[in-house]
């Protein structure tokens, strides 16, 4: 709203300026002085330049959010292949203890995964009251403590195994988000992450399904930040080659979209191996998307990244985070994969084990209290 108000103010001033300039040119023929006209012309040029710059800006600038230092609390997506899934047995959402722990370390964002089929058991049907209650417990506790939540539909552009755009109509995603937006539109600390890691589908379909979701969210009256992921698992290193650059064409009347690449640092970028390809692989893999975002005047949120507790991963993670913080005009934040309950000895988890911090937390700590 800050950006929109300032943009509208500049538009108003520019219109008044141009009107006065035209009036001044008419009067000049009647002997009016030239000095005032020149000054007015200069003011018009200044306002026009700033109006274009502000109108082109997108993302977090509108809400003036802090730099986001996050962690994925992803246990809400566990047991995806089990039908029916049982809460507390097959999957669970993080509780106050996890939230308090990460807040004490300096984290201010939780990306919370959930499954579409659980929150909306019937396609285009009402949301599950019981599932929504479990999710609300986490959302309300975290945001009530001044933190941010990114709601993550962790479905890889599918519903019950059916792919959006072929087996499942893309309009169904808009129906889901319209209902979620109506439920959460009074909480500006909730970000809407449209769909986790679409893959193996035309990028045009990704664009169309995302645009439908954006339309539904705004139609529900929600002004919340919308998080948009790219095609081919939203990989930062092939954001351009996957065609995800066309997502810049998305239309949002609130101008409040942030784009969310993911980037793992193992050899094939899948994130299934604990070892990093080199000590500067993270920095290398986010270069092209950074350049694209700056040229396109959009903001980025690194929605997933992670690595095992070893060298060269410590160097790879540190250099990548350092680069993002130094380029905060483009990068609005990041979220480590992963934390929360039930991860056990998973190599990339930073959930404390036996009361002890995980080694990777030491890499993140220097960046947790910086903008």
Catalytic residue (one of 131, 197, 229, 351)? 197
Q: Over the Cα atoms of the chain, what is R_g?
A: 23
Distance CA 310, CA 295 (A): 35
Half-sphere exposure of 318 (CA within 13 A, CB side): 14
Q: How far is CA 257 from CA 34, 70, 212, 300, in A?
A: 45, 18, 14, 9
Q: What is the pLDDT of residue 371?
A: 64
- Please report, for residues 121, 182, 183, 340, the alpha-carbon distance to residue 126 in angstroms, rounded to integers and kept in the order given: 8, 12, 12, 28
Q: Is the pTM of this model over 0.95?
A: no
Distance from first CA to last CA of the chain, Å, rounded? 21
pLDDT tens by residue, 73-130 = 999 999 999 989 999 999 999 999 999 999 999 999 999 999 999 999 999 999 999 9
Arithmetic mean of pLDDT, 275-293: 98
Q: Of the residues 117, 229, 254, 304, which is catalytic?
A: 304
Question: In what helix (H) or strand (E) does residue 332 lie, and over which residues does it extend?
Answer: strand 331-339
Q: Measured between alpha carbons, how far is residue 147 from residues 102, 301, 308 in Å? A: 10, 16, 27
**Annotated catalytic residue 197:** yes
Q: Extract the tokens encoding 43.
A: 């003011």
Our CA dihedral for 360, 365, 366, 369, rounded to 10 degrees, sits at: 150
78/147 Cα distance (integer angstroms): 24
Based on the number of CB atoms within 10 Å of its own CB, is 82 exposed (0-12), middle (13-18) or buried (19 or more)? exposed
Average pLDDT, the chain: 87
Closest by CA to 364, choosing from 150, 101, 142, 69, is: 69
pLDDT tens across 169-226, in order?
Answer: 999 999 999 999 999 999 999 999 999 999 999 999 999 999 999 999 999 999 999 9
241: which residues sit within 8 A by CB, 6+ positions away?
Answer: none
Q: How far is CA 174 from CA 115, 116, 216, 329, in A?
A: 15, 12, 5, 30
The answer, yes or no, to whether residue 17 has pLDDT greater than 50, is no
Token reading at 306: 């992670």
Q: Residue 369: its pLDDT value, please?
A: 81
pLDDT in tens, 38-75: 444 444 434 334 433 333 333 333 547 899 999 999 99
Q: Is the pLDDT of residue 235 over 50?
A: yes
**How far is 139 from 132, CA to CA, in rounded Å?**
10
């Amino acid at each position: 709203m800050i950006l929109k108000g300032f943009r509208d103010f500049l538009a108003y001033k520019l219109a008044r300026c141009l009107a006065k300039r035209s009036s001044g040119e008419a009067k000049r023929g009647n002997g009016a002085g030239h000095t005032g006209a020149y000054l007015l012309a200069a003011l018009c040029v200044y306002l026009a330049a700033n109006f274009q710059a502000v109108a082109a800006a997108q993302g977090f600038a509108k809400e003036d959010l802090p730099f986001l230092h996050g962690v994925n609390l992803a246990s809400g997506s566990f047991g995806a292949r089990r039908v029916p899934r049982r809460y507390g047995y097959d999957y669970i959402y993080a509780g106050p203890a996890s939230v308090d722990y990460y807040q004490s370390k300096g984290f201010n964002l939780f990306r919370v995964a959930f499954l579409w089929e659980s929150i909306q058991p019937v396609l285009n049907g009402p949301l599950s009251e019981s599932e929504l209650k479990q999710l609300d417990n986490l959302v309300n506790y975290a945001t009530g403590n001044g933190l941010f939540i990114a709601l993550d539909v962790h479905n890889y552009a599918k519903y019950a195994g059916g792919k959006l755009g072929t087996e499942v109509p893309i309009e169904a995603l808009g129906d889901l988000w319209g209902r979620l937006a109506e439920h959460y539109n009074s909480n500006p600390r909730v970000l809407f992450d449209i769909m986790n890691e679409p893959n193996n589908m035309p990028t045009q379909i990704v664009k169309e399904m995302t645009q439908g979701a954006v339309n539904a969210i705004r139609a529900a009256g929600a002004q919340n930040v919308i998080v948009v992921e790219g095609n081919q698992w939203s990989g930062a290193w092939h954001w351009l080659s996957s065609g995800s650059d066309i997502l810049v064409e998305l239309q949002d009347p609130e101008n409040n979209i942030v784009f969310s690449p993911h980037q793992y640092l193992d050899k094939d970028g899948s994130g299934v191996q604990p070892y990093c390809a080199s000590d500067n692989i993270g920095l290398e893999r986010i270069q092209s998307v950074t350049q694209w975002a700056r040229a396109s005047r959009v903001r980025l949120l690194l929605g997933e990244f992670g690595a095992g507790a070893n060298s060269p991963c410590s160097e790879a993670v540190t250099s990548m985070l350092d680069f993002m913080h130094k380029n905060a005009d483009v990068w609005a934040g990041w979220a480590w994969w992963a934390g929360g309950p039930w991860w056990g000895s998973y190599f990339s988890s930073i959930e404390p084990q036996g009361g002890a911090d995980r080694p990777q937390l030491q890499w993140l700590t220097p960046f947790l209290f910086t903008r």
